[in-house]
Structure 1
Amino acid sequence: MSRTVFLNGDFVPFEEARIPVMDRGFLFADGIYEVAAIIDGKLVDEVAHLARLDRSLRAIEIANPYTSEEWIALMRELAARDEVREGLVYIEVTRGVAERDFPFPPEGTPPTVVMFTQAKRILGAPAAEKGVAVITVPDLRWKRRDIKSVALLAQVLAKQEAARAGVSEAWMVEDGHVTEGGSSTAFIITPDDRLVTRPLSNAVLPGITRIAVMQLAREMQLTIEERLFTVEEALCAREAFYTSASAIVMPVVTIDGKAIGDGSPGPMTKRLREVYLALARDGALASG
């Protein structure tokens, strides 16, 4: 079955989807994106993802073209057309098409809206069973990392370095402290069983899966510390993992080649992943 793209109000075959050269997303990375998971054919935590989309759009002064309810209907329609039972839906909104010039185009220029699905194994992913390796790299990004901008060159370079090293993710480091992964939120569990992740600020993206996992951790009566942590502290952690819409909760078993804990996914990490996936499959996170 051919994939479908939602493009500026229409569902079109993937092969026919076209965006003009003068689109500001292409010329300036002047746009915002969002990604939500699909499990058992259902959207996961979509209301929270769309709230972050709206926040990022407002931060760079692009009018949101749809309400949350309209977005959800379109996302569900697209997933149904592509018959995606497990995977992702990707949304991108740019400032639209105009002659190349740095200032915003004339008022009333319509935004470009693109949405497509990707099939991806989430349940029973082999990487989650065995755990993954990460490396650390310098954080080269701009100062508004809380905005989910399509300007991802620094992340591309970090992820490519991870790919060359044969590992799954790169944890970015600034002033000796882990900020976040190339496309994920970093967590450690200390030897005294404290769950640690960096606090929200302009320095990190407010991860949607992060929010849900931290709530689950509270319900499991884990002590949570939102604070900076160093690479050295991560290397001495009992467990480590990262979260994202596609990885859910991914156990980290080595950092820069050094084993974390006993070098296998830890019990708390596995439990958080199990509970999250159970709630997603029950529809408890399909909040629309």
Structure 2
Amino acid sequence: MGRIVYVHGQFIPEEEARIGLFDRGFLFGDAVYEVTAVIGGRMIDNDLHLGRLCRSLKELAIPLALSLEQIAGIQAELIARNDLRDGTVYLQVSRGEADRDFLYSEALAPKLVGFTQAKMLSGTRAQRDGIAVDLADDPRWKRRDIKTAMLLGQVMAKQAARARGFDDVWLVENGLVTEGASSTAHVITAEGHILTRAASHVTLPGCTQRALAKLCAAEGLQIVERAFAPGEAQAAAEAFQTSASSLVTPVVRIGVRLVGNGRPGPMTRKLQALYLEAAGIAH
């Protein structure tokens, strides 16, 4: 028997899982999702992820009959039933099922599914040595602050970057970096200021970034929320990206140019340590 997954109110073996042909998440990408890191059997920053899930649903006018406590209970049950120690727990809520039509009825019943994925999240090669990120035009729609299941733009950008020999990709619009294809982009200036985009419709509000920002404030580290161009990022003292599945990962090359000396810098190392310590992760 494989994993136990959650589909429309039931915990069942993944081999038995079925999604309806007329589910609007399948037909239109009319769905939102969240991914929470699990390390040592514990969910990391889950309150932030569930808060963002609620915000995304509200922005798309998708109701959800379950409370946040009930959803957290489903996540915990998935972790327990799959004996997950390290990995992620995924949730997706679609607007519901109906015959294909661009217009939808407000009476549709949303569909919730969830599953776990076992993977190493802490102490990875990428976190130790840093990664190289490509630069690509941002192909996505205008409401990137909503975490929708419409990810084809990110899929194509990541696939192209991998084919070009990069580990990941940062997206660019109007001459400015928006964010990573599945991460929040940060650079550190020579003065030690941490730059990242301010919250807007242009980027997804990162949960790991928000958790890290609180730690920085407590340490007296200055985060400046403003946009930056690819050239400024390449000329920065350090760079890194954050996400639930990669935590705090150094970026040592952007496009063809090394960042700093091409190795993870001291400020990035400090931020990694701060985050791991706050999350209760040995490092």
| Whole-angstrom CA distance in 2 between matches of 1:93 and 1:2 | 23
Q: CA deviation at 1:16?
A: 0.7
Q: CA deviation at 1:65?
A: 3.0
Equivalent runs, 1:235-254 vs 2, <5 Å: 235-254=234-253
Tell me what 1:65 maps to.
65
Q: CA deviation at 1:227?
A: 0.3
Task: Tell me which amino acid in the other structure corresponds to 1:30.
Answer: D
Equivalent runs, 1:156-235 vs 2, <5 Å: 156-235=155-234
Task: Tell me which amino acid in the other structure corresponds to 1:47.
Answer: D
- Runs (4+) of structure 1 exceeding 4 A deviation are none
Tell me what 1:139 maps to.
138
Tell me what 1:276 maps to.
275
| Whole-angstrom CA distance in 2 between matches of 1:123 and 1:34 | 19
Length-normalised TM-score, structure 1:
0.95
SS at match of 2:91: strand
Structure 1's unaligned 5+ residue stretches are 284-288
| Whole-angstrom CA distance in 2 between matches of 1:90 and 1:282 | 21
Length-normalised TM-score, structure 2:
0.97
Cα contact 1:34–1:91 (8 A) shared by 2: yes
Tell me what 1:89 maps to.
89
Aligned residue pairs total: 282
Tell me what 2:99 maps to.
99
Cα contact 2:87–2:120 (8 A) shared by 1: yes
Task: Tell me which amino acid in the other structure corresponds to 2:13.
Answer: P
Q: Report the more deviating stretch, 183-192 or 217-226.
A: 217-226
CA displacement 1:185-232 (0-9 Å, x = unmatched): 000001111100011100000000010111112222222110010101
Calculate the aligned-residue CA RMSD, in Å: 1.3
| Whole-angstrom CA distance in 2 between matches of 1:202 and 1:254 | 27
| Whole-angstrom CA distance in 2 between matches of 1:127 and 1:16 | 35
| Whole-angstrom CA distance in 2 between matches of 1:3 and 1:71 | 19
Structure 2's unaligned 5+ residue stretches are none
| Whole-angstrom CA distance in 2 between matches of 1:135 and 1:151 | 21
SS at match of 1:19: coil
Q: CA deviation at 1:15?
A: 0.8
Q: CA deviation at 1:109?
A: 2.1
SS at match of 2:210: helix
Equivalent runs, 1:18-33 vs 2, <5 Å: 18-33=18-33
SS at match of 2:71: helix
Task: Tell me which amino acid in the other structure corresponds to 1:2.
Answer: G
SS at match of 2:279: helix
Q: CA deviation at 1:282?
A: 6.3
| Whole-angstrom CA distance in 1 between matches of 2:56 and 2:235 | 35
| Whole-angstrom CA distance in 2 between matches of 1:271 and 1:279 | 12
CA displacement 1:101-131 (0-9 Å, x = unmatched): 01013x4321111100011101211111010
